[in-house]
Structure 1
């Protein structure tokens, strides 16, 4: 059998992507069959370019099989969308998918230990070694319907007692084989999902569990997948027992936003329903005229929002308020009785209003732009160019979930407020902005480094670093642990 969509990346790792090799895929497909009648739903939650799940659909019957795919990488997801029925470009942990709606789960997850900032770490359930393979197994198991078929492709050394117990508790008719391509030491586990009380007898279950553990510890080698035509077993993929009602990404990306705008022929079907206050609520006069402080607090709390017209300036703004928590640090020094200098650091949580406005003034140069409303004067001209601004995975994880606003930190960095750094580092930054000329009259700028104290509740670290390279080509935002 030749692949319908051969790709160069099929047989080697590409940016952490380990596609199933062609021979292993062919031999796995020889072990699964479709039901005699009925529609079938199959899913690959780490689909890559979508080739594997597309081959599954073709093998089971393209007319009665619906292939669903989830892929995080934009380029690979774009290709997967062309060969699957439904494809989400999303992190699997950021999806909402109907449970027990799929007759086959093709699981070839990312390989590796979980970092502290891995999406889904908080939901990870387990006491053993935290691995991405285990996280994806936990997240996707509920998607598989009972009597459904699991195809689990992972490195053999990941099989420990914890994962072996999970598999033998959730599946029966289990089989484990060695992949044809030995590059990544992969094994293929097949099984049929059943309720825990229906798993095989304790003796059989323990024997297979110990076999998995021995394979993981390299004390035992799994048999190689039988060649096509020599299969001694067959897994029947059951027909769908429910519709896939939910299959979407929770957070919205730019492409989804564009699709929604096109579908609704605008941002909202009814603008007033979203932004205008309802006339049904009784309006009460405040006890006293609202001061600027009252107005700012109400805006920041979201109590006042909607379309605001200014009779004086003629401007029209759509206003929405929010608040975020920041941390301020105060350092005090004092001398003890013996003349020693004692440093006392006090961290205080403060709630910062963040009022945004959408300028809808016709004919204005700012029409359509998002503005920030603040009681602070306009910031001075930046002292230098940031270049291309990039953030590490850890920072991106925090920002995407709304736990951190980077703009105030970048503004401080641009204004020469280097944050919480030593005095000599502060002077080094200032000297890098205005370097002294050398003997030849040439001056060379240096690298700029800032460190800001932030809330460590969601990052596990109390600082954010910002580094601008000496040539001002790139500015990197990172956690200290990622340096």
Structure 2
């Protein structure tokens, strides 16, 4: 995929499958362990690194923001959460292997804030704490980004048994990315590696990378990193942002919601029994005219269809006095009920 295609995908750079194959050959799992990718995309590389190590139990954990990519990843990742990594609550010091290929863009600036930070460093600092001491990290970013003062200093302080390789020739020109493999140091006090720091700072130059950074393909058969054993069940791994779809069933079964639905259900008009008070002629006419008595009555040979109809007319009356004649007009309501018999005969009750 071209750089343009990746930019359209908002910083999503999937690691090429070939580079994943090379990476897998550089790893040796010493026992059962969980592995983690905080921006796993469709999960292909994470799943590839986790499989084929029987009888070792390698359990994969992934987080992905994009819904479509997360749906694909959920089919092949043991435990997948669709959420922003910023919302995740995860146990510290639990994963034997961290696969880190963060988005290549800047953070969003909030109202009233100035400046942005590159996500490569933010995700590096955030996710290193989830790696067990002595755990292995694979960090994939654009080559020149290793020269960032924050990234280079962090890597030179927090990691040992380090290897830096560029993508093999088949992919490097398209991606311009390098791979950092290192083991998280043990203990609170960590010695800064000046030589490593200066090497990373020099990676700002493409000429330096071409002459001093080996291809990952050259590591095959020359170096292998051991991934340490750890408990495959991570105690805490969830998002503070709940998925709305998870609430649907709970809401449907909620007693309060069911009671609300019952109270707001449209009422059905039922005719039958004795009225509480006598119904006036005009009221009866309205009931009939509105079709309240419409319906099918009886069964079998006694089945009847009933329809009520109201007709309205004006009736004039006159009153005479010594000086004038007064004419009054009133509304007259007549009721008619039609009954259709099973034979098709229609009876009209006036």
1:362 matches 2:253: no
1:245 matches 2:235: yes
Give, in whole Å, the separation in 1 of the partners of 2:164 and 2:235.
33
Could you list the per-position Cα deviations for residues 199-244 of structure 1 after superposition, in whole angstroms to 9, with x for gaps in the alignment?
A: 56x5xx1011110010034462152334278332211111115740
Give, in whole Å, the separation in 2 of the partners of 1:216 and 1:196.
31
Q: Residue 298 of structure 1 aligns with which residue?
A: none
Local SS of the residue matching 2:150: helix
Q: Residue 307 of structure 2 aligns with which residue?
A: none
Q: Is the 8 A contact 2:34 2:232 kept in 1?
A: no
Q: Residue 88 of structure 1 aligns with which residue?
A: 81
Q: Residue 261 of structure 1 aligns with which residue?
A: 250
Q: Where do 5+ consecutive residues of structure 1 fail to align?
A: 1-7, 123-127, 272-306, 308-317, 319-357, 367-483
In the TM superposition, what is the alpha-carbon distance from 1:361 to its structure 2 partner?
A: 5.1
Pick the structure with more helix per residue: 2
In the TM superposition, what is the alpha-carbon distance from 1:365 to its structure 2 partner?
A: 5.2
Instruction: Give the counterpart of 1:225 among 215, 237, 240.
Output: 215
1:15 matches 2:2: no
Q: Is the 8 A contact 1:164 1:212 kept in 2?
A: yes
Q: Is the 8 A contact 1:57 1:67 kept in 2?
A: yes
- Name the CA shift for 1:225/1:58 in 2 (closer, same or farther; >3 Å): farther
Local SS of the residue matching 1:220: helix
The one of the two structures with greater contact order (alpha-carbon pairs below 8 A, sep at least 6) is 2
Give, in whole Å, the separation in 1 of the partners of 2:226 and 2:232.
18
Deviates more, 1:108-117 or 1:50-59: 108-117
Q: Is the 8 A contact 1:27 1:228 kept in 2?
A: no
Q: Is the 8 A contact 2:34 2:231 kept in 1?
A: no
- Name the CA shift for 1:85/1:365 in 2 (closer, same or farther; >3 Å): same
Instruction: Give the counterpart of 1:139 among 99, 113, 126.
Output: 126
Q: Residue 184 of structure 2 aligns with which residue?
A: 193
Could you list the per-position Cα deviations for residues 305-349 of structure 1 after superposition, in whole angstroms to 9, with x for gaps in the alignment?
A: xx7xxxxxxxxxx8xxxxxxxxxxxxxxxxxxxxxxxxxxxxxxx
1:76 matches 2:69: yes
- Name the CA shift for 1:212/1:196 in 2 (closer, same or farther; >3 Å): farther
Q: Residue 35 of structure 2 aligns with which residue?
A: 42
Give, in whole Å, the separation in 1 of the partners of 2:263 and 2:135.
60
Point out the structure with max Rg over C-alpha: 2
Q: Is the 8 A contact 1:40 1:239 kept in 2?
A: yes
- Name the CA shift for 1:216/1:229 in 2 (closer, same or farther; >3 Å): closer
Q: Is the 8 A contact 2:32 2:232 kept in 1?
A: no
In the TM superposition, what is the alpha-carbon distance from 1:105 to its structure 2 partner?
A: 0.2
Return the TM-score normalized by structure 1: 0.48
Give, in whole Å, the separation in 2 of the partners of 1:91 and 1:206.
35
- Name the CA shift for 1:40/1:242 in 2 (closer, same or farther; >3 Å): closer
Return the TM-score normalized by structure 2: 0.65
Could you list the per-position Cα deviations for residues 152-194 of structure 1 after superposition, in whole angstroms to 9, with x for gaps in the alignment?
A: 0001122212211111111101111111222231110000001
